């Protein structure tokens, strides 16, 4: 376990700079200010943080939060006040806008097994956790954080942007198949209309009943229109480097996460795409 911040070492009882680690700390701040995410930075770090601990997002955040680098409490300065403040401002700005995006995503994200909206616990962005809190279901046997969920949803959007045919559906727009009761009622209305002595109020009542019966035999499916709308919208898009939450909410009506760690998005036309960019041949009717 490290007892002093990364970037320092004690030699002959004196706190000194570790040159290799100093370079790594300065790289982390520089890369973060240039727009790299904490995960991207963690993935390319080659100076060991500790021999038994791999680099991860929480360690990068710990370094970005460490005020010892400003030369406080007997530690030599590694980072200027300006650089440290700019990094803090970027984290604060990211956290201020994140909640609305997260609320939008959570509003349509449910557990695949029970259909209950997922719960998200977070004290800060790096420690978010999505889970099923339904006592009649069970918690996920894995950790699902904001960044991973957004990454997988971004992959789904990119899949349909690259291949709009994934959204194609052959479902009919509208069908009307009268049953025997409708046919009998139609004949009755015609018979009454041919009778010059029929009570007008009665024929009005039977016409309304006939219209209601016909309506029950109609089935309307807007999938073809939704498919065309989606294809037109996505044709204007390029591959996404980060998740466009607004685009996702416009295109997707439900996101499901299963206990087997599969994430699926049901688009507005009913087509389901999983995190591998593959079409799933079923409909999510159980939660309707």
What are 229-260's pLDDT values in tens digits?
999 999 889 998 889 999 999 999 999 999 99
Q: Which residue has the tokens 């349509």?
A: 108
Same-domain check for residues 19 and 134: no
Same-domain check for residues 187 and 142: no
Structural domain that includes position 63: 8-79
- 18 sits in the region (left: phi over 0; alpha: psi -120 to 50; else beta) called beta
How many Å apart are CA 78 and CA 57, to the nearest integer?
A: 21
Same-domain check for residues 113 and 200: no
Q: What angle do helix axes 146-162 and 223-235 make, rounded to 10 degrees?
A: 100
Residue 256: partners with Cβ closer than 8 Å, 6 or more residues away: 109, 110, 111, 112, 263, 264, 266, 284
Element (H or E) spanning 170, and its range?
Answer: none
Give residue 130's pLDDT.
93
How many Å apart are CA 117 and CA 107, to the nearest integer?
A: 7
Give residue 283's pLDDT.
45
Find the radius of gyration of the CA atoms of the chain.
30
How many Å apart are CA 141 and CA 143, to the nearest integer?
A: 7
Same-domain check for residues 19 and 129: no
Q: Which residue has the tokens 């989606």?
A: 230
Give residue 218's pLDDT.
62
How many Å apart are CA 185 and CA 250, to the nearest integer?
A: 43
Same-domain check for residues 54 and 185: no
Cα–Cα distance list, 249 to 107, 121, 140, 160, 280 (Å) = 10, 21, 24, 14, 19
Residue 93 in domain? no
pLDDT tens-digit readout, 189-216: 788 777 777 777 777 787 788 787 776 7
How many Å apart are CA 42 and CA 100, to the nearest integer?
A: 26
How many Å apart are CA 107 and CA 247, to the nearest integer?
A: 15
Q: Which residue has the tokens 């719960």?
A: 119
Q: Taking a C-beta distance cutoff of 8 angstroms, is the pair 117, 109 a contact?
A: yes
Same-domain check for residues 135 and 19: no
Residue 96 in domain? no
Does pTM surpass 0.75?
no
Give residue 1's pLDDT.
56
Give residue 123's pLDDT.
53
Same-domain check for residues 207 and 252: no
How many Å apart are CA 29 and CA 72, to the nearest integer?
A: 18
Residue 97 in domain? no
For the chain, residues with pLDDT lower than 70 are 1-2, 93-98, 123-127, 170-177, 215, 217-221, 282-288
Give residue 190's pLDDT.
82
Give residue 148's pLDDT.
92
Residue 213 in domain? yes
Q: Taking a C-beta distance cutoff of 8 angstroms, is the pair 165, 117 a contact?
A: no
- Number of structural domains in the chain: 3
Same-domain check for residues 146 and 228: yes
How many Å apart are CA 279 and CA 115, to the nearest integer?
A: 20
Strands 109-111 and 252-257: parallel
Element (H or E) spanning 193, and its range?
Answer: helix 180-194
Same-domain check for residues 150 and 180: no
């Amino acid at each position: 376990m490290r007892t002093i911040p990364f970037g320092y070492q004690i030699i002959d009882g004196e706190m000194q700079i570790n040159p290799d680690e100093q370079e790594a700390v300065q790289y982390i701040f520089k890369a973060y200010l240039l727009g790299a995410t904490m995960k991207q930075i963690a993935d390319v770090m080659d100076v060991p943080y500790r021999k038994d601990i791999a680099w991860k997002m929480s360690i990068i955040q710990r370094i970005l939060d460490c005020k010892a680098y400003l030369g406080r409490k007997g530690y030599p300065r590694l980072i200027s006040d300006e650089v440290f403040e700019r990094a803090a401002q970027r984290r604060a700005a990211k956290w201020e806008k994140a909640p609305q995006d997260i609320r939008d995503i959570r509003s349509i994200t449910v557990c695949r097994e029970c259909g209950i909206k997922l719960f998200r616990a977070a004290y800060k962005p790096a420690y978010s956790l999505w889970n099923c809190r339904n006592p009649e279901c069970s918690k996920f046997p894995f950790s699902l954080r904001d960044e991973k969920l957004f990454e997988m949803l971004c992959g789904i959007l990119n899949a349909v942007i690259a291949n709009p045919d994934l959204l194609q559906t052959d479902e009919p727009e509208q069908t009307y198949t009268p049953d025997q009761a409708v046919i009998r009622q139609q004949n009755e209305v015609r018979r009454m209309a041919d009778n010059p002595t029929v009570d007008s109020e009665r024929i009005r009542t039977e016409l309304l009943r006939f219209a209601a019966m016909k309506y029950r035999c109609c089935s309307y499916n807007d999938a073809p229109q939704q498919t065309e709308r989606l294809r037109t919208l996505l044709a204007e898009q390029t591959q996404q480097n980060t998740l466009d939450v607004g685009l996702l909410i416009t295109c997707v009506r439900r996101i499901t996460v299963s206990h087997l760690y599969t994430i699926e998005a049901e688009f507005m036309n009913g087509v389901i795409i999983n995190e591998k960019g593959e079409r799933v041949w079923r409909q999510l009717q159980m939660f309707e």
